[in-house]
Structure 1
């Protein structure tokens, strides 16, 4: 049994509100977020409005792990909220689930106007990569000095990617979210 913390899971749901019922749709989504907040393993959620009237809303929900998301999916609260949403929306939502490294790139599914500037994302990524690479090179470098260059590089980059995906970027994303999303 591994003591490693499970990777976070992000689910994106896309759906249109019925014309003239947008305010009701948004209110129900916000009420659903309050119910989600009581669910074990819930990390947060965002509602992204459509780029243009009549477009799709996006609901982004983050959970600690797949089993936490499944717990929400099977809850009576979710069933109640989805029944209410069916009355103010078109059809069923289209879902996309992201986990691990794929979740780094989740902003690609949100409207372009809501994505953080690439320059800010680059700064936050560098703030994560620089100390992680330095740590691994400082700690493991002396032990790996006799290894062939490509094998040494493969090990170090593999450790960096794993650490960035499951440890560093989720924390940096939360820490820097206000700066990343500021106009």
Structure 2
């Protein structure tokens, strides 16, 4: 099961461009670590005075995550990043529905995540079932057909429906956001 981690760093005034370039270089290097499955950078909106940058990382599992953060490669990056940032980075592990709604700050309220997920699952389940019924409906037992439909739903939700809905609903999901949690899971 993959592990998602949201990291928030406050970049020193005047170091924003240098930090972004250094982080892009580190992203390229970090993919040499076998357990790193993804990384993204979230920047403040253009024209904003905010200096909070978000880094989203996905690891194959907890062991790979821990090995990455204990590696000399990460420790070298962390030392370099500290010259361009203020305070300690904040690490948050994202679990369950939070992984779809991952962001550097706190996740939206669970009821909003559940409602948006339901809004995606309902039509996707109807569409996937209708599309697959002519192909598999009469050829396989019902429980296998149900598994094929469930797999189709998961694929559509993961790579299409949820990323699109989360992007569209971001202002509603997050509203005015409180400050990120204190350092915890990494």
TM-score normalised by the shorter chain: which range applies? 0.5 to 0.7
Aligned to 1:94: 90
TM-score by length of 1: 0.61
Could you report, residue by residue, the CA deviation over 1:124-177 in whole angstroms, capped at 9, with x for unpaired residues? 645754448x89x97239xxxxxxxxxxxxxx9xxx6xx799x6478525x986
Aligned to 2:67: 71
SS at match of 1:69: helix
In the alignment of these two chains, the number of paired residues is 147
Aligned to 2:39: 45
Deviation at 1:180, TM superposition (A): 7.7
Gaps of 5+ in 2: 107-115, 169-186
Aligned to 2:159: 172
CA distance in 2: counterparts of 1:50 and 1:181, whole angstroms: 15
Q: Pick closer, same or farther for the CA change 1:37–1:125 going to 2, 3 Å.
A: farther
Question: Which structure carries more helix by proportion?
Answer: 1
Matched, 1:83 2:79: yes
Could you report, residue by residue, the CA deviation over 1:65-108 in whole angstroms, capped at 9, with x for unpaired residues? 11121121111000000000000110111111113333123259
Superposed CA RMSD: 4.1
